[in-house]
Amino acid sequence: MGQAWGFGRHGGPEVQEFFDRPDPVPGRGEVLVRVAVAGVNPLDHLLRAGLVPGLDGGRPFPRVLGMEAAGTVLARGEDVDGLDVGDAVFGFALTGGGTYAETTVLSALHTARIPAGLSATVAATLPVAGTTAVDALDQLGLPPGATILVNGVGGGVGLAIARLAAARELNVAGTGSTAKRAAAETLGVRFVDYTTEDVVAAARELAPGGFDGIVDLVGGPALRTVAPLARDPRTVIAVGDQSVAELGGRFVERRLDRKNLERAARLAIEGVLAPPITAVHPLSDAPAALATVEHGHTAGKVVIEVAGLG
Ligand SMILES: NC(=O)c1ccc[n+]([C@@H]2O[C@H](COP(=O)([O-])OP(=O)(O)OC[C@H]3O[C@@H](n4cnc5c(N)ncnc54)[C@H](OP(=O)(O)O)[C@@H]3O)[C@@H](O)[C@H]2O)c1
């Protein structure tokens, strides 16, 4: 039995609640994990609101929030390769376990061991934000010296992309509100403040011939504002807004497998991927953690620390 935080029905923050649940039983291809740290992502509140039915899996209520975690394997289901009881791991809770909880089940194919040199806190941010950054930049495949615009550079995925793009010797520009300028500029990003500047004019000054690639993390009107700044519309990659296809761009192609997690871990250890962690909340403070992200103006990554590793 362990404490969990989730929701009893779809809706706004008012449907959230703490409850006790028995430890989930790991099914085929799953591991039961004692959660050390859970990453907090915009997808969590979108699932709570019932806006992503394809990922809900028809699970019964109450459902536990959270898609990613780092922790320790307590038990293995059938057909689990490469993970043992006692291993420190990080990965996705794709089958509905929810990670804002003392224990959860992770999908073994989408979970990797935490290598030496990587903290559980950083590892917990890699399944969603870390591998998304890797996937978006791989999809663009830009050579050193190319120009890239990151729309929404100050959040979890944005700062991960900024760091990785700099390591690939890209010229990085990024948009965000005033509070994000310092974090972005520290990573070498040429920053456009969308709250005080004309985004199109300022970005055109940075890349008069157009950007070689754009990664959009905001969607909606903000995506439509920046999309024409790409030299070629096919180099506009959106991470959250599928309507990018209407603009000639592409949605990010995600790779959630263990190999990609291991790659993200190596890049994080090298110091070229992990986004800065700006807030660490205890599980009892999970409502505040998700409220920060739901507000839509997160800086870096927010995580929930549930317990120590081990
Ligand atoms: N497809 C996938 O597998 C996948 C994976 C990860 C994330 N996502 C999606 O990608 C999106 C970003 O994720 P995230 O984790 O980076 O979110 P996040 O941490 O909440 O960051 C979003 C950032 O966008 C900034 N922003 C908001 N409005 C803006 C605007 N008009 N112009 C420029 N910046 C603006 C926000 O702060 P400021 O306004 O203060 O600058 C914030 O820093 C979300 O929609 C998420 O669901 C998808």
Tell me how crowded residue 116 is: count the other CB atoms within 10 A of its CB: 7
How many angstroms separate the alpha carbon of residue 296 from the centre of ligand 1? 7
How many angstroms separate the alpha carbon of residue 252 from the centre of ligand 1? 14
In a domain, 256, yes or no: no
Instruction: Say whether both 56 and 156 belong to one domain.
Output: no
Mean pLDDT estimate for the chain = 96
pLDDT reading at 290 higher than 70: yes
Instruction: Say whether both 78 and 61 belong to one domain.
Output: yes
Of 217, 252, 254, the one to substitute when testing ligand 1's pocket (max ligand atoms within 8 A of C-beta) is: 217
What average pLDDT score do residues 24-30 get? Answer: 95
Q: What is the CATH number of the domain that holds 50?
A: 3.90.180.10
> Quick one: which of 175, 121, 161 has its CA closest to 272?
161
pLDDT reading at 76 higher than 80: yes
Please give the Cα distance from 69 to 58 (Å, whole number).
Answer: 22
In a domain, 310, yes or no: no
Three-state DSSP state, 179? helix
- Look at residue 151 in the predicted model and tell me its pLDDT: 98
Instruction: Say whether both 73 and 91 belong to one domain.
Output: yes
Q: Are residues 265 and 258 in contact, defined by beta-carbon separation less than 8 angstroms?
A: no
Instruction: Say whether both 178 and 203 belong to one domain.
Output: yes
What average pLDDT score do residues 148-158 get? Answer: 98
Instruction: Say whether both 119 and 157 belong to one domain.
Output: no
In a domain, 269, yes or no: no
List the residue whose alpha carbon is closest to atom 45 of ligand 1.
240
For the Cβ of 158 lying below 6 angstroms from any atom of ligand 1, the answer is yes
Confidence of residue 95 (pLDDT cuts 50, 70, 90): confident
How many angstroms separate the alpha carbon of residue 155 from the centre of ligand 1? 6
> Quick one: which of 111, 163, 176, 118 has its CA closest to 137?
163
List the residue whose alpha carbon is closest to atom 18 of ligand 1.
155
Instruction: Say whether both 134 and 215 belong to one domain.
Output: yes
Instruction: Say whether both 94 and 147 belong to one domain.
Output: no
Instruction: Say whether both 239 and 279 belong to one domain.
Output: no
Instruction: Say whether both 202 and 285 belong to one domain.
Output: no
Least confident of 92-101, 228-237, 240-249: 92-101
For the Cβ of 42 lying below 6 angstroms from any atom of ligand 1, the answer is yes
pLDDT digits (tens, 9 = 90+) for 9-19: 999 999 999 99
pLDDT reading at 57 higher than 70: no
What average pLDDT score do residues 39-66 get? Answer: 90
Q: Given the CA of residue 299, which atom of ligand 1 is nearest to it? A: 43
pLDDT reading at 118 higher than 60: yes
Q: What are phi and psi of 174, to 5 degrees?
A: -155, 150
| Token code pair at residue 186 | 């520290």
In a domain, 296, yes or no: yes
Q: Given the CA of residue 132, which atom of ligand 1 is nearest to it? A: 5
In a domain, 232, yes or no: yes
* DSSP-derived pairing of the beta strands 301-305 and 30-40: antiparallel
How many angstroms separate the alpha carbon of residue 84 from the centre of ligand 1? 35
- Look at residue 308 in the predicted model and tell me its pLDDT: 76
Please give the Cα distance from 212 to 234 (Å, whole number).
Answer: 10
Instruction: Say whether both 39 and 147 belong to one domain.
Output: no
List the residue whose alpha carbon is closest to atom 25 of ligand 1.
152
Asked whether the CA dihedral 291, 301, 122, 279 is positive or negative, the reply is negative
List the residue whose alpha carbon is closest to atom 26 of ligand 1.
152
In a domain, 264, yes or no: no
List the residue whose alpha carbon is closest to atom 21 of ligand 1.
155
How many angstroms separate the alpha carbon of residue 195 from the centre of ligand 1? 15
- Look at residue 74 in the predicted model and tell me its pLDDT: 98
In a domain, 263, yes or no: no
Please give the Cα distance from 38 to 241 (Å, whole number).
Answer: 24
For the Cβ of 111 lying below 6 angstroms from any atom of ligand 1, the answer is no
How many angstroms separate the alpha carbon of residue 232 from the centre of ligand 1? 23
Structural domain harbouring 88:
2-125+275-305
List the residue whose alpha carbon is closest to atom 43 of ligand 1.
155
For the Cβ of 231 lying below 6 angstroms from any atom of ligand 1, the answer is no
- Look at residue 96 in the predicted model and tell me its pLDDT: 76
Q: What is the CATH number of the domain that holds 170?
A: 3.40.50.720
Instruction: Say whether both 134 and 233 belong to one domain.
Output: yes
Partnered with residue 302 across adjacent β-strands are 40, 279
Buried b or exposed e, range 203-241, using 16+ CB within 10 angstroms: beebbeebbbbbbbbbbeebbebbbebbeeeebbbbbbb
Instruction: Say whether both 213 and 284 belong to one domain.
Output: no
Query: DSSP characters for 174-196?
Result: EEE-GGGHHHHHHTT-EEEETTT
Query: Residue with structure tokens 């990003």?
Result: 189
Q: Given the CA of residue 157, which atom of ligand 1 is nearest to it? A: 16
Instruction: Count the residues in the chain.
Output: 310
In a domain, 45, yes or no: yes
Q: What are phi and psi of 136, to 5 degrees?
A: -65, -45
Domain count, the chain: 2
Residue 107, phi-psi category: left (phi > 0), alpha (psi -120 to 50), beta (remainder): beta
pLDDT reading at 48 higher than 70: yes
pLDDT reading at 310 higher than 60: no
